[in-house]
Structure 1
């Protein structure tokens, strides 16, 4: 427990999960206010309505990318810069940003802040958390600057230099943080077969989605054998899901005239690659999502639910969580006692936590999906796709976002918030004030299966 502040001599105690949730909520409200300012939008000098501004701010802070208005034509330069700051802070996490402010101001970082940072980044220990923050900031700036340079050079062939530089910066920050916000109405569809745009954008969100701890281990150890079990599992699952995603989309969409059916073979490969890896919480698209086959959409929903790696800028239940659940399933059906991978044993406590994350995520998704079936006049598949996209902080849409009712926008906003801070963290935030029971009852069996 963390002592947040004192009131009349009594300590008001908040769980780290509650502080993280409150911190993100405050950041979202600040962003909402800024986007409501008259000079944030072009439309007759008026800012966004509250619900729309709340939706956009939540989508930016939660690095989702779902949008109820067109980013490039609705927001002024000021409004777009506000979105960029919200995306960057949301990608880092507000605690990482807070520690950065402490470092800049030269203030001492106490145990409370270290505990919050540990909880925010899902770290095992408190050791070296401040040094980790410095390295996270450094990695982010280096990768985003390189991405912006490559994109600006590419786009300078078809835009003015100033516009190309701005486009490069905006899309680099958006991609690395897995946000998916773009300045074109059709996202990146203009460059569906462009190698530079496809490679740079995907590398940015794949690196951002691997997780900062994995990136640092790769940099420091420079040997796959010396990596921790977490990094090995994260990298292996990322590779498997990306390859399978590419192949499934290629097969399912190959003859679809509304997506890649009419493209050349090279463009089909680029489009399939991009759309196969993007559901891992990135949110960009180079083909029309609403025109994709049902098979592709169903598979993309599975990828969005799984998400990126723990401690990354992405969402979902996380690839390591999914890997542990699958390993536990294999252990049970093969009648083994231990969950093993890479000659290492995973504790059943960690397995139970992974299962809890998966179940909690399903409960939140089903609840919002069920409520949306009352408020939205759309097909079940579109509603479910939108729901999972919001939870996974992906930002892909089958065409429903702009048509959401006011209540639907609030429900999706809530789910984006839950998806960003994590389903289990949200559950802790809601339930952590309950006293811990000291009673242990007699064991009895229940028939299952």
Structure 2
């Protein structure tokens, strides 16, 4: 807001509080302290588990450093990996270790949930209540993980790819981690360009969806997709309200979800077309690169090296937009809403 010359008004503070699920300024302060504490605790627990596993094959000091780095990278959905290109590379060692993949996968998932949802889950035993945002996020996380895992396993079984000839347990562990990491974490344990089209398309869609709002993940967010799905089902059933888990979703929320999805889709499409005009290459590879940047995933089908300086600026812009969030930018740039004094008569528009 400061960069674009706008004051952080009381209304803006209310928007921030609402996005974080808080009711007042004191709630925001308490949440900030909670964020710091729970983040350090989760990353420390993950680092300890990884260190206990890796110290058997690495010197204690080196194992500790690697454990801390990869715990933070996993929880923050950063996608950085210190093993790539070394003799201990993920593909040659820990990439098939179920314990390592489980710990890092859990860190990725927890980071993709976000602090407000973790706080909601932590408080559930006491108040026996979960917000609709938490319920949507958990349900969609499980659904996307299961569906993505089935697609990965089916594709590996029906077609020849990098996982062909591997044992069932290795396929399962690699497949599950790949699906979990696809939603903006960006950690790779198999060459993505050697996967089949169906799996690559699944990864692209999962990256676009991303994780929860106010989390470490990017994308259009699970809640946006969830609200749109609920709204579509309500429309198909002939209902004039969209509801789920015993709660009715306000029209304003549905309108914001439509705006986020529309702006994000148009942005990704425009940037993909622009890059495809400037660079030779497969259109899917270009789209994969743009969606990966928008979701802050860091994946690539070996197309990044083809970008010129303008192309790199375009990808950087997509990263900035995706990290800041489409809704945040739309709200920040929007003019202050004025009360509508004139209401024109309604007239239906033919659809379909």
TM-score (norm 2): 0.91
Q: CA deviation at 1:124?
A: 5.2
Q: CA deviation at 1:375?
A: 2.4
Residues 305-336 of structure 1, C-alpha deviations (whole Å, 9 max, x = no match) = 11101111101111111011011111111111
For residue 317 of structure 2, the aligned residue among 411, 414, 417 is: 414
**What residue is the counterpart of 2:123 in the other structure?**
220
**What residue is the counterpart of 1:90 in the other structure?**
none
Contact 1:229 1:342 (C-alpha < 8 Å) held by counterparts: yes
- Would you say 1:440 and 2:342 are equivalent positions? yes
- Would you say 1:380 and 2:283 are equivalent positions? yes
Q: Aligned residue pairs: how many? A: 346
**What residue is the counterpart of 1:325 in the other structure?**
228
- Would you say 1:158 and 2:57 are equivalent positions? yes
For residue 182 of structure 1, the aligned residue among 81, 95, 98 is: 81
Contact 2:220 2:261 (C-alpha < 8 Å) held by counterparts: yes
Task: Provide the rounded CA distance (Å) in 2 between the counterparts of 1:434 and 1:324.
Answer: 25
SS in 1 for 2:182: coil
- Would you say 1:310 and 2:213 are equivalent positions? yes
Residues 62-100 of structure 1, C-alpha deviations (whole Å, 9 max, x = no match) = xxxxxxxxxxxxxxxxxxxxxxxxxxxxxxxxxxxxxxx
For residue 42 of structure 2, the aligned residue among 143, 148, 167 is: 143
Change (3 A) 1:366 1:409: same
For residue 297 of structure 2, the aligned residue among 389, 394, 414 is: 394
User: What is the correspondence of 1:176-255 to structure 2 with a 5 Å cutoff?
Assistant: 176-185=75-84, 188-190=90-92, 191-222=94-125, 226-255=129-158
- Would you say 1:133 and 2:32 are equivalent positions? yes
For residue 169 of structure 1, the aligned residue among 45, 50, 68 is: 68
Using the TM superposition, name which of 435-444 and 167-176 deviates more.
435-444
SS in 1 for 2:248: strand
Q: CA deviation at 1:15?
A: 5.6
Change (3 A) 1:234 1:319: same
Q: CA deviation at 1:441?
A: 3.6
Q: CA deviation at 1:231?
A: 1.1
Change (3 A) 1:223 1:371: farther
Contact 2:145 2:180 (C-alpha < 8 Å) held by counterparts: yes
**What residue is the counterpart of 2:308 in the other structure?**
405
Task: Provide the rounded CA distance (Å) in 2 between the counterparts of 1:398 and 1:180.
Answer: 15
Q: Which runs of 5+ in 2 are unaligned?
A: none
**What residue is the counterpart of 1:45 in the other structure?**
none
Q: Which runs of 5+ in 1 are unaligned?
A: 6-11, 20-110
Task: Provide the rounded CA distance (Å) in 1 between the counterparts of 2:11 and 2:30.
Answer: 16
Higher RCO, 1 vs 2 (CA within 8 Å, ≥6 residues apart): 1
Task: Provide the rounded CA distance (Å) in 1 between the counterparts of 2:339 and 2:120.
Answer: 39
Q: CA deviation at 1:118?
A: 2.9
User: What is the correspondence of 1:323-362 to structure 2 with a 5 Å cutoff?
Assistant: 323-362=226-265
Task: Provide the rounded CA distance (Å) in 2 between the counterparts of 1:347 and 1:315.
Answer: 24
Task: Provide the rounded CA distance (Å) in 1 between the counterparts of 2:337 and 2:302.
Answer: 45
TM-score (norm 1): 0.72
**What residue is the counterpart of 2:189 in the other structure?**
286
RMSD of equivalent CA atoms = 2.5
